[in-house]
Amino acid sequence: MKKLFYTLIAASTLSACSLLDSAIIIDKPNLPTVNICDNVATDADVTNMVSKIKAKSFKEERMARAKLVTKDYCFVSNQVVNIMDAFSFENAKLEIAKDLYDQTTDKNNYDVVVDALVHKADRDELNKFILQ
């Protein structure tokens, strides 16, 4: 009886656990994930990327080049806007904005990217994508 009492006391002080008849189950805590980036893009890197993207004539070629040159880099929101400016078509800007979201280190500032889109429908779509 004494053992059960101490078990109940111990279990009641643990907030992330469950008490079963014969055991205490400690729940796995919800820890935030930390995204570590080994290759942070500098403004010079972004300028170079934009030049490489603009060197291609067609939208599909530009998108393929953009995905290639931005791979393995992390960006801040303003740099994403600069990369978007390498595209003429709004749907391409939206696509690259979505693609680079996970590679952005300051997601709390991504409203700068949203605001860079001209059409409300595109802004709404990007906001919906972000909130998923």
Q: Indicate the domain borders of the chain.
A: 1-30, 43-131
Residue type for 83, please?
Answer: I
Q: Which residues, other chains included, contact 103 with Cβ-Cβ below 8 Å and sequence gap of 6+?
A: 37, 70, 73, 74, 75
CA proximity to 38, closest of 72, 3, 77: 72
Banded pLDDT at 126 (limits 50, 70, 90): very high
pLDDT band (50, 70, 90) for residue 4 = very low
Q: Which of 31-35, 53-57, 60-64 has the lowest mean pLDDT?
A: 31-35
* 45 pLDDT higher than 90: yes
Residue 5: per-residue pLDDT: 44
Provide, rounded to the nearest whole percent, the portion of the chain with pLDDT above 90. 71
Average pLDDT for residues 24-44, to the nearest whole number? 76
